[in-house]
A and B are shown apart, each in its own frame.
Chain A
Amino acid sequence: MRPEDILLPTPSGVCCKRGGFHIDPTRAVDKALITHGHSDHARPGHGAVLATQETLDIMRLRYGENFAGTTQAIKYGETVDLNGIKATFRPAGHVLGSAQIAVEYGGTRIVASGDYKDVPDPTCLPFELIQCDVFITEATFGLPVFRHHDTDGEIAKLLRSVALFPERAHLVGAYSLGKAQRVIALLRKAGYDKTIYLHGAMEKITNYYVSRGIDLGPLELVRGAKKADLAGTITLAPPSAVKDLWTRRFPDPVACFASGWMRVRARARQSQIELPLVISDHADWDGLTNTIAATGAGEIWVTHGQEDALMHWCTTRGLKARPLDIVGYGDEDESDGVSDTGENAGSPA
């Protein structure tokens, strides 16, 4: 059986006809299996949604109670049978609740990994490698120039800057779901125990992380703070906020941005960032290529990102590779992730 007979790539996501479901569809469908809560993968309006409890909770926080007709929470490691098709959820290491979905039928296994990373993250379970025949991968950072292995080094850089400029406020642009909480957790891991301030758009999701038992230390909304009190502090804000009028409430702010894009200078300069922090929730080039090789898959489908280089790499390794050209998947750092949390609908960063 051809893998396309199990999962058919369409412009609005991969579709399983026999099982009657889509994975991360970009339009409303009857039944959707959702890998994680980022808005390009998790859209409102589906008839039924199957996802991890955390992903369902996050969708509810973002879209309200009626984000789907019915919901079913799937545990990591749990397999559901959908008209003879077996679907198993495994941790993807991307954000809290993120899952890869392994789809099996007639001895063929296809893994839709959603977004993933293969490096440690104190705010979610680590990526779990699944052997498969077809591996569906993202390629957000699918160029050999993207390398973000030294997250601790980037956090140390931020802390050195805070020490050197005690009269300035450090504003860290970070996507509000996942990245922001990870940066906070990394700062705590590095021993930073002072209050960390939050932009209002971060509040709901961050509180949710805390409610799931992730220790983020003392947090406060920046809304109530006096300008002078913000000297020497760190504030997390959506990327689009660190260069807009909102920053006037801070003393001589240092614009920082935690993103894999910060690896390339032209990108950092374009966004007028003063302290780029190369921290990403996506696999970097080494992560993508190591993972692809380790799955043992002979065929690689690339959903979104810089697919040219990754496909070329696959061919040089004797792997069959095809782009899926799905319309509507993006990268969360590029859409600022503010508008769908209900506050301060900003323009894309």
Chain B
Amino acid sequence: MNRFAELLDRLTYEPGRNNKLRLMTDYFRTTPDPQRGYAMAALAGALSFKSAKAGMIRTLITERTDPVLLALSYDYVGDLSETVALMWPADPHHRPNAIPSITDVVETLSTLGKAQLPAQIARWLDALDETGRWALLKLITGALRIGVSARLVKTAAAALGDKDPHEIELLWPGLAPPYTELFAWLEDRGEKPLNTDPAPFRPAMLAHAIEETDFPALDPSHYRAEWKWDGTRIQAVTGLNEDGEPVTRLYSRTGEDISKSFPDLVSSFRLPGALDGELLIMREGRVQSFNDLQQRLNRKVISSKLTAEFPAYLRAYDLLVDGDEDLRELPFAERRKRLEKFIAAMDDPRVDLSPLVPFDNWDQLTAARADPASAGAGDDATAVEGIMLKRRDAPYLPGRPKGQWWKWKREPHIIDAVLMYAQRGHGKRSSYYSDYTFGAWTTEDGEDVLVPVGKAYFGFTDEELIQIDRFVRRNTIERFGPVREVVHEADKGLVLEVAFEGLQRSTRHKSGVAMRFPRISRLRWDKPPAEADRLETLEKMLEGTERAQAGLALPKPKRAARKTAAT
């Protein structure tokens, strides 16, 4: 545990991506199996054991320390796990002689009964030093938060054997901790592990936000257009297991298995293949609002009442695998033909095809975007968020490759930002964290960092306020008086859709831009922070506004601001 603790400790302070990689690769190189495998799983968020609750840790420390000293210490340190790690009254000269390894911890936790847990944790705390205790508590409470993405961990492991991290990505769904075969392969001591999951996730292809200045360089004949639906993106994968039976999984865009949340949809996929599409709620053949979809997201218990009231559908727009044939290398136009056949063969009432939007030139597409109802979207026009442009010849590439897919949103003044700080409100909201500072990504010294771009105080419903407040309290990483800093990393944090009236340049803000009248238009629990907008998007919007003010730009279609319930 001590080496792992030292690694974690170092990673929390190291800002540089390359240095983080060096630290992890060095750890993987110098740590034996299975320790390094469990460490890899911990870093990548791939460990699953029942995590210990903060309440249990609090009880352990309360039983062992003076309440006044505990309160003063907690107040000073601001983090319970860290406070406990530092003030745990273990005598450094009389430690138990066996220091637990990460293997001991992970293996014990996966088998231990709940009743034995507190005593076991106390024994471990007695045996470890301050940093070891801190790492242990972070690990067992499931709150590592060290600014390392799963992707970065895989990249660090790949560097052991000069392998492409993407290969690990592809193998990952079929692997389980402690990844002994993976390390053997990385170190050229063993065969490449087989991906044994019959229905694995394939990393999603993402789009760039398009700006007016991009259009002159683009040839309309190279692109096809689709509606951008106001739902949540999923991947539906069906494969055959060893016994030839179909296995279906639904994945979020980040590869999280969300099949359990949509039992009503899973049974629709009997044909082996992998579909990329938008999950929508439909009633009487019409797409329902995103608010309706929210009822189905992040639910632990799925009642039959819920599935009847909010039935889930898939509107498919890409086919990655057909039977056992991987189509990702094919150009989009060909995949589209295969997709149309596949959907026809499925012939399932819960799955349909996202239609193409016909156009010959950008003017036609501009008109379609302004009025989707007359351009083929019909009654579903209210669920159209904008237009997707996809190059006819683009293969399906993981990540966000340049110039292949573009998204062209209808509302120019909406961005996805990441919650960074929250402050208590005033008056009847004084017990809630209701003032939010949010940020957009930018590159500093070659690193992607979030820079605050604005503050919002309203736009959310009372129920959403309670949800955000809960999120803030559970995900605080630091406190400054009434302000809490909330976790905001590439793969951890809350994405807020922010609507605003306009943009101005500002020298007072670090970002250089100030929003007019910003409000939270929606909570994007489904979206990983890495996919939030970049500061450059705002800068381009600003340039667009300035050009429009100078009378150089075409008037843009404006849509009514999204309806939001103010509190």
* A→B interface (CB under 8 Å): 143-147, 149-150, 153, 157, 161, 164-165, 263-266, 268-269, 273-276, 306, 308-309, 312-313, 316
Contact = CB atoms under 8 A, between A and B. Distances in A.
A141 B284 CA distance: 68
A309 B69 contact: yes
B76 A143 contact: yes
A265 B87 contact: no
Contacts of A145: 73, 76-77, 83, 86-87
B23 A164 contact: yes
Nearest to A153: B129
Contacts of B130: 147, 263
Given A165-B22, A309-B69, A264 B13 contact: no
Interface of B: 6, 10, 12-15, 19, 22-23, 26, 65-66, 68-69, 72-73, 76-79, 82-83, 86-87, 92, 129-130, 478
A176 B318 CA distance: 65
A147 B130 CA distance: 8
A312 B92 contact: no
28 contacts: A143-B73, A143-B76, A144-B65, A145-B73, A146-B86, A147-B86, A150-B129, A164-B23, A165-B19, A165-B22, A263-B86, A263-B130, A264-B82, A265-B12, A265-B79, A265-B82, A266-B78, A268-B13, A274-B13, A274-B14, A274-B15, A275-B10, A306-B76, A309-B68, A309-B72, A312-B68, A312-B69, A313-B69
Contact of B77 (A164, A165, A264): A264
Contacts, number: 67
A147 B68 CA distance: 18
A153 B92 CA distance: 13
A95 to B, nearest CB: 25
Contacts of A147: 86, 130
Given A144-B86, A164-B23, A309-B72, 14 more contacts: A145-B83, A145-B86, A146-B86, A147-B86, A147-B130, A150-B92, A153-B129, A264-B82, A266-B78, A268-B13, A269-B13, A306-B72, A309-B68, A309-B73
Contacts of B66: 312-313, 316
B13 A273 contact: yes
Nearest to A275: B13
Contacts of A316: 66
A266 B14 CA distance: 14
A143 B13 contact: no
Nearest to B86: A145
Q: Name, among A164, A263, A308, A312, the residue most crowded by chain B CB atoms within 10 Å (CB to CB).
A: A164
Contacts of B79: 265-266
A264 B92 CA distance: 19
A308 B478 CA distance: 23
Q: Name, among B13, B15, B82, the residue most crowded by chain A CB atoms within 10 Å (CB to CB).
A: B13
Contacts of B23: 164
A13 B68 CA distance: 29
B72 A157 contact: no
Nearest to B84: A145
B76 A264 contact: yes
A299 to B, nearest CB: 20
Contacts of B76: 143, 145, 264, 306
B82 to A, nearest CB: 6
A272 to B, nearest CB: 8
A143 B73 CA distance: 6
A149 B65 CA distance: 20
A153 B68 CA distance: 31
A39 B109 CA distance: 52
B69 A149 contact: no
Contacts of B83: 145
B77 A266 contact: yes
A275 B16 CA distance: 13
Nearest to A265: B82
Nearest to A262: B13
Q: Rank and list the top 8 A-B pairs by shortest CB-CB distance, nearest first.
A: A145-B86, A144-B87, A145-B73, A309-B72, A274-B13, A312-B68, A145-B87, A144-B69
A91 to B, nearest CB: 24
Contacts of B87: 144-145
A315 to B, nearest CB: 10
A265 B146 CA distance: 12
A308 B13 contact: no
Contacts of B129: 150, 153
A149 B14 contact: no
Contacts of B92: 149-150
A265 B9 CA distance: 9
A41 to B, nearest CB: 25
Contacts of A146: 86
A258 to B, nearest CB: 14
A263 B131 CA distance: 9
Nearest to A274: B13
A143 B72 contact: yes
B478 A266 contact: yes
B91 to A, nearest CB: 9
Contacts of A313: 66, 69
A157 B6 contact: yes
B134 to A, nearest CB: 8
A147 B76 CA distance: 14
A161 B11 CA distance: 12
B80 to A, nearest CB: 12
A265 B479 CA distance: 12
A316 B72 CA distance: 15
A157 B79 CA distance: 24
Nearest to A161: B10
Contacts of B72: 143, 306, 308-309, 312
